[in-house]
Structure 1
């Protein structure tokens, strides 16, 4: 049996739709259930940020998670396939009437992605003070907590509604199929078979 960690929300639903197409029957979680067993699969409904931990620790054989999460957590997993689901961008946001001022001795950046942020500015040779937040990131520059933010942007609506604009794009992200390295050895045939079936679906 393969255990599959899925992120709560739309990505899980879209992934289960792919499974439904492959196996010809409905794959769907019952309301509020966190585990679903169907055929040769056990699905786990997991918080997006926790999926790398479930995979690296072997609690799940494979999982689906955004590239931004993989880059942020720098997790030791196998990246098997870009599913193309949940496309978004990691961007720097600033107040609408301002610009990103690289002449400052240090920029204050509010984000829930400190590793991605630090790596980006390190590559530019820019000193930053990273302020770790867990939500309402857009509020930080509006109240003077930070000069800018680094956050996920899908349509840009949330930023615009809060008087912010995208200053720079750091990376593009989408959901990836990943695997535990030990599982890929012990369950190689099952994982590769599923990989090829999923790849066939998303290519059509």
Structure 2
């Protein structure tokens, strides 16, 4: 019987040479596990989130979905979606958004599997077992692959780190009102103290 761990397991795959298709098949064969692959080729096996984190994630996704439903500017994706990032890594943000134009540039097969595209916008929500440095590395992978705006919400420190291309990370204390800026025009996320 498998034991569920509360921290991610990271496997070094340096000498394995796991192709994109093999990684996809590995994920399909192990659909009960949330898997990611870093830009360095490490395989991350992530534990399921608890009720508090799951509820917060659903709320964040719902707010982005509702804004998008009104504006029809793109596509919203849940944390179950893995994106094959152009500069390496197969990552699944807690919330992701891609413009319609960029999404429609993909073939139907690319859309059906792990889309080979970096989201325009992501939210990562740190759970109590997540390593902050690992999440910061993940956010940098998104930026290196074309991310336009990203929020790393850190309830443990009561702050949000805002990621933008070619800018230093901005840190905002909670409570905060975050703007979608030019990426998600008109979107505002009001975050309380957690």
TM range (shorter): under 0.3
**Which protein is bigger by CA-based radius of gyration?**
1
**Higher RCO by CA contacts (8 Å cutoff, separation 6 or greater):** 1
Instruction: Give 1 or 2: higher helix fraction.
Output: 1
What TM-score comes out, normalization by structure 1 length? 0.24
Give the structure with the larger strand fraction: 1
